[in-house]
Amino acid sequence: MNRSLLVTFLVTFLPFNLLSAEPSAFGAGNLSNPNPYGLTSSEKTLLQNKKDLRKVVVKSNNQANEVDSLRERIDGLQTIIESLSRKSQDNKINLKRLDKKNSDELNSSDEYEKRLSEHSQSNSEIILLNTQEIEKIKLVITELSLLLDTINAKYVTKDEFNILVSDMNRFKELVAKELKKGSAPKKSKFESMTTAQVATKAKQLYKKKFYTDAIEHYSYLIDKNYKPARAHYMIGVMKYKRKNYSEAISYFKKSASLYSEASYMPSLMLYSGVSMDKTNDKKHAKAFYNGVINKFPNSSQAKSANKYLKNI
């Protein structure tokens, strides 16, 4: 790789030389991302509730469509029944007319037989017509039964919807309580310590691998703006060691933006590359590995970066 290509490469991918590459290299905590990472516990709960509500909306829309279809089928059944009723009424009228003709006009046995034959034929046609209409009604009723079974099997019940709403309300209450707690003054256990003492204690806890307490101490230092670049880096390292790679990337990014000339920069770059490698961001992982090799060629981190590159 010649010098011009190397310069172009570092400008494009390394967040410590030009900050324009930071958004693409570090994307943690973005809820708009289809696969967000680096979320807090509240953001994860909010994201899950958004997904649950989206499912309810989809199911409700499907239910509305099925109910509309059911109404159309019922309207069709009502039309058939009304048609059958009209035809039955017409048949009654025709029968009365035939009876009247039989009583008024049949004066001979031959004429009577003729009228009787016509009457029988008419009745046969009426019976056939009624049978056909009844079969249509049976078919519609069967289809409606199947549709109702589908609705009962697939739709969200009122109880299920109410449970989801209750969960959302409880979530809102928890968020409100947390916000209320955050607004209320709370005595800190670090009040009796200087920031330098907190930093010393944080370092001791880190060496003992008491990461939870160490992160709490470094977070306090960030709030007090005491060497925030190193505090972000140390929290990132502990997130990395716990395999919370997406969160580690977020802290490394912030540390690099605060102080890009720190002595721990080779390690920060290597950890960032590995974290991206572990989250399947191979493109930027390679960029960080190559950045370590070219910027710190004689470091132990450069040797490790070479090994990682061979496995991609």
In terms of pLDDT, which residue wins out, 236 or 71?
236
In terms of Cβ atoms closer than 10 Å to its own Cβ (0-12, 13-18, 19+), residue 294 is middle
Question: In this structure, what token pair is assigned to residue 230?
Answer: 């190193």
Distance, CA of 145 to CA of 151 (rounded, Å)? 10
Question: In this structure, what token pair is assigned to residue 133?
Answer: 């209409």
The stretch 112-138 carries a mean pLDDT of 68
pLDDT tier, 122 (very low <50, low <70, confident <90, very high otherwise) = low
Which phi-psi region, left, alpha or beta, contains residue 38 (left: φ > 0; alpha: ψ -120 to 50)? Answer: left
Print burial letters for 232-261: b (CB count within 10 Å at least 16), e (below 16): bbbbbbbbbeeebbbbbbbbbbbbbeebee
The stretch 223-239 carries a mean pLDDT of 97
CA angle 236, 31, 258 (to 5 degrees): 35
Closest among 39, 55, 58 to 47, alpha carbons compared: 39
pLDDT of the residue at 48: 75
In terms of pLDDT, which residue wins out, 214 or 50?
214
User: Which tens digits make up the pLDDT trace of 29-78?
Assistant: 555 656 665 555 666 676 676 777 677 667 767 766 776 776 777 677 67
**Is pTM beyond 0.85 here?**
no
